[in-house]
Amino acid sequence: MTSTPDRAAALKSPPPATWRWGVLVAISLAMFGNYYVYDSVGPLADNLQRLLGFTDTQIGTLNAIYSFPNVVMVLVGGIIVDRVGTRLATLGFSVLCLVGALVTALSPWFPVMAAGRLLFGLGAESMIVAVTVAIGQWFFGRALGFAFGVNLSIARAGSYAADMSTTWAKPFYDAGWQQPLWLATALMGVGVAGAARTSASSAAPRAASTSTSHRRPTGSSGPTCGVSTGRTGTSSGCVSRSTRSSFPSAARSPSSTSSTRTGSRCRTRAR
């Protein structure tokens, strides 16, 4: 079936720059909240020891328990991202981070706080996987490295803000142990709003291309390209409908024409 001109144009043309950079800012806000919540325990250590009687071991456990599930969960999270897509995965994992931050701030009882940090860990690293894949879908070519740099810069700003929170958010620390954790939860809520904004955006150009197939009209001398998406991943192929190769190097070589007859397969060239 021949694709419509609009669909063909959508596969060839990149989305407006404002869409791409808007998505980048939105998912970077989610990363900011993620990094802030992770580093929020360290500056609070004195308050936890003085007000709640936590030991150094307990405070260390609040940080260490974050990494425990990610020995396996990152692999599972990657599979989830492949199955449900980056938009839903980013939103779902960021919501899990928010729930973890909320549980951590609810009670002074150590097991509850540890459970909250565990929940946060279950979502945080997988959210980073989803965000990384999303950037790869929205940006390509020379803009890709810069997009990753912007994302990591904003994320690290979250760590820096948490480390310096005893200065700029001193009234929260003066009020006790819980208020700084509520602040961290609120910032993670901003991150969830950013992930929701990403989820509401139009599909990324590379993600959209996996749900449609682009075929040239009958008689075209170019290759027929199709992309299919399954629940476990994406496969793509390029089948030539011409007896002559569309690649100049192959066209110059008489012996290469035999490999480009109808039914031969070639790798789809990256844009």
Tens of pLDDT along 75-128?
A: 999 999 999 999 999 999 999 999 999 999 999 999 999 999 999 999 999 999
User: Tell me: the pLDDT tens digits for 208-262?
Assistant: 554 443 444 444 444 444 333 333 344 444 333 333 333 334 434 444 444 433 3
Within 13 Å, how many C-alpha atoms sit on residue 197's CB side? 18
Tell me the β-bridge partners of 223. Answer: 240
Tell me the H-state helices in 107-224.
110-138, 143-163, 165-168, 170-174, 178-199, 205-209
The residue extents of the domains of the chain are: 5-203, 213-266
Stated as kind and residue range, the H or E segment containing 76 is helix 70-84
Fold type of domain 5-203: Growth Hormone; Chain: A; (1.20.1250)
Q: What span, in angstroms and rounded, lies between the C-alpha atoms of 200 and 2? A: 29
* DSSP character at residue 263: T
The arithmetic mean of pLDDT across residues 173-196, rounded, is 96
